[in-house]
Structure 1
């Protein structure tokens, strides 16, 4: 069996997705997610111009060799565009291998380590009262874990909070929109929100919060300490992760668990954070960390240091990526949590899939391969729309991490 063709499909059923479909000379197909939020066309071009021509004629069964070929053979290694493209190929090849073997991918990864994948929902609202109501709705839907994000008094917009009750989608304009940020207002407000959530929903519900890289280490330490009475499962992305040493300072001041990694591309990005036990959850995901093959390397390293998985799973990842993540989640020994934002009905129609949600858990498909496909005819009805992520400025106009 050889790879006969590979197609890059860009579609926008409500938001942009890039998908690679690999076709063998025996008619077996595999799909891989190649979506990089706000930079989708960069990955599409990298795949079309540099990767697809190199795939034709290769043996699709040689997944590890192909991964090394695309990684080491490029010379210019790593980076989000390159690793997202590598991930798309890797995921598609695992899909093909599962179909050839007649097994769901998780069986090829060692089989089940658990019965279902615990997922967390998002509760987003502008006010504390509204976010309490939204947490209640997610609990009623069966979620056992909820990420809580609210507006900050005095700020017109805040990361994670949608306008008018719509599903949150940050890529909101062709040219990046600008938001205003105040760390002082944020630190003064957030602990009171979690106090109210705990008072209303008790100690059993797992609670999470995304800081989204906006604090300094000492500010993050203050927040972590202030949140300790409310027993968060994790405080996500407290500081920009370019400087791992910053997490050491946070650790010295708070026992609130830390999660980080959705912007990481490789095991080398998170090696120090894992081996020095500076984080509790690593949030790397299939599409941005080189596919199933490389994500397993990251999680295997993490398991040696008591660090659990917490893969990114927002709607900027397609159902192809979510399906792949579930197969990994089900099989690894150190699974923690999986993010879950349900896709729109339009997206689900473009990407028919067999995974399902029940009683707080997601379950991957039992079909051979990933259990997800791409309806190319339907995808063609949703052309690409330029959409960029916002930028943040402080109240005095200084550019700040968004």
Structure 2
């Protein structure tokens, strides 16, 4: 065969191969088959926040829940501090729209300026939870994995209880908690318990020495009921000053309390340090503090307390509270978590607690609400088992709202209704609104940005 014929045959074969390939490409998918376990939300570079909506659940302390939506269908839940309102988070919506929710630190830095102590830390904290929920779902990992290593598989829970003026009845209520499986307890020592006894309370609402002896009768009764070998903390002492608090704390010493909580306002770190140094009763505070630099660092650097007590729905939720706890641990100070919200915030706090090395226990304030756990699906039920909550290994926070139950307990009508009124900035730092009419450097009257 001549060279010309060989070239012609080769050319025809090449053309046939191209035609065959073209025909095949029309019949095959443009992308390769997706492997088993394919995550439909795995295009993180294209992920954008498109909305934030909210609802509020009626409870002992109302639960404001937010949902952050994205352009790929994945969403995340968060919770504003209990007894707050969802607007604390919704005012941040305009700062989130269009951003990639996986850039968690960048987003949190941008909204940190709008966070504050008490319930005003709730918006930032809710956003933090929702972002970690989204990121966990996108990457297929539990939220705890995004902030550290899991150092425990279950979280010890302590519960409060309702008081009673009769020490025996109060003790019976605490014993009931023990029979429910709890292993860590807290009681409230309101001055009102003894206010009707002659000579027990001053006109400032503070117990006298006689009144303190009466209050200690309650601790004694509870100790006798639940035992001396289990942790028992106390809270709600009234309007104490530093000297009052020292009297109280010393009176409590024989009962070996796990801690005395919020004896004076947290901003008074010098007073807290005085109290701590004057007693063997451990001193604890922190539930209303936002941020490490904004509040906890002063308490920790000055060793003003024995234990810190952040509430993740105020302190900054997962990422910021992890910073706070790690910093405290460097100073030998353990962390207990205050908490009184819904299962959404609860499970977010469980993920956090799983990564805290020097950890004591976490609060739950819904023991007497049988429907509390029904608000969500995902975790094993009951959520609290024998005084502990198991740390989830499912993606994100590991919870979904049970829509039917949530709608039954809404504070007001509206289940994640549209929130267009929050699409424009409501709170802001330095913000240039756009062009304006003025003379520019060349003397032209213009409507534009120049300087």
Matched, 1:100 2:169: no
Look up the match of 1:390: none
Q: Which runs of no fewer than 5 residues in structure 1 stay unpaired?
A: 157-179, 386-402
Q: What's the offset of the Cα at 1:199? A: 3.5
Q: Secondary structure at the match of 1:18?
A: strand
Deviation at 1:7, TM superposition (A): 0.8
C-alpha change, 1:115 and 1:291, in structure 2 (3 Å) is closer
Structure 2 partner of 1:120: 158
Aligned with 2:195 (options 150, 155, 168): 155
1:89 is aligned to 2:127: yes
| SS, match of residue 131 in structure 2 | helix
TM-superposed CA distance for 1:381, in Å, is: 4.2
Q: CA distance change for structure 1 residues 270 and 135 in 2, over 3 Å: closer, same or farther?
A: same
CA distance in 1, matches of 2:226, 2:58: 37
User: What CA distance in whole angstroms lies between the structure 1 residues aligned with 2:338 and 2:312?
Assistant: 9
1:269 has 2:295 as partner: yes
**What secondary structure, in the 3-state scheme, does the structure 2 residue paired with 1:310 have?**
strand
Structure 1 match to 2:420: none
**CA-to-partner distance for each residue in 1:121-152, whole Å, 9 max, x for gaps?**
22333121012111211111111111123564
Which of 386, 390, 401 is the matching residue for 1:359?
386
1:379 and 2:406 aligned: yes
Aligned to 2:111: 70
Report SS of the residue matched to 1:183: coil
Contact kept in structure 2, 1:220 and 1:239, CA below 8 Å: yes
Equivalent position of 2:87 in the other structure: 45
Judge conservation of contact 2:64–2:79 (CA < 8 Å) in 1: yes
- CA distance in structure 1 between the partners assigned to 2:385 and 2:117 by the alignment: 36
CA shift, 1:311, in A, is 0.9
- Of 146, 162, 174, which aligns to 1:135? 174
**1:283 matches 2:309:** yes
**Which deviates further from its counterpart, 97-106 or 61-70?**
97-106
Identify the residue that residue 313 of structure 1 maps to in structure 2. Answer: 339
Question: Which of 67, 73, 80 in structure 2 is aligned with 1:27?
Answer: 73
Deviation at 1:154, TM superposition (A): 4.5
Q: Distance in 1 between matches of 2:282 and 2:275?
A: 10
Aligned pair partner of 1:256 in 281, 295, 301 = 281
The whole-number CA distance in structure 2 between the counterparts of 1:280 and 1:291 is 22
Shifted more, 286-295 versus 107-116: the winner is 107-116
Q: After TM superposition, give the deviation of residue 320 of structure 1 in Å.
A: 1.2
Q: The residue matched to 1:148 in structure 2 has which SS?
A: strand
| d(CA) in 2 for partners of 1:14, 1:201 | 26
Secondary structure of the corresponding residue to residue 107 of structure 1: helix
Structure 2 counterpart of 1:198, from 207, 215, 223: 223
Aligned length, in residue pairs: 352
**SS across alignment from 2:314:** coil
Query: Taking structure 1 as reference, are residues 278 and 139 closer, same or farther at Cα in structure 2, changes over 3 Å only?
Result: same
2:43 maps to what in 1?
A: none
Which residue, 50, 64, 85 being the options, matches 1:18?
A: 64
Scaled by the length of structure 1, the TM-score of the pair is 0.81
| 1:337 matches 2:361 | yes
Answer whether contact 1:319 1:353 (CA < 8 A) is retained. Answer: no
Query: How far 1:197 sits from its partner (Å)?
Result: 2.9
Give distance in 2, aligned partners of 1:228 and 1:353.
43
Partners of 1:91 and 1:153 in 2: CA distance? 38
Give 2:449's aligned residue.
none
Deviations 1:201-240 (A, max 9, x none): 4331111101356311111111111111111111111111
Partner in structure 2 of residue 398 of structure 1 = none
Computing the radius of gyration from Cα coordinates, the structure with the larger value is 2
- Could you tell me how far 1:378 is from its partner in structure 2? 4.6
CA distance in 2, matches of 1:213, 1:262: 16
Considering Cα pairs closer than 8 Å and 6+ residues apart, tell me whether 1 or 2 has the greater RCO: 1
Aligned to 1:8: 54
Q: Which residue of 2 aligns with 1:174?
A: none
**Are residues 153 and 326 of structure 1, via their aligned partners in 2, closer, same or farther at CA, if it must alter by over 3 Å?**
closer
Give 5+ residue unaligned stretches, structure 2: 1-46, 197-203, 413-451
Query: Aligned-residue CA RMSD in angstroms?
Result: 2.3
Which residue of 2 is the match for residue 303 of structure 1? 329
Superposed CA offset, 1:231-280 (max 9, x none): 11111111112211101221231011011111112222122221122212
- 1:383 offset after TM fit, Å? 4.2
SS of 2:168 mapped into structure 1: helix
State the distance in 1 between where 2:384 and 2:375 align: 19
Q: Is the 8 A contact 1:232 1:257 kept in 2?
A: yes
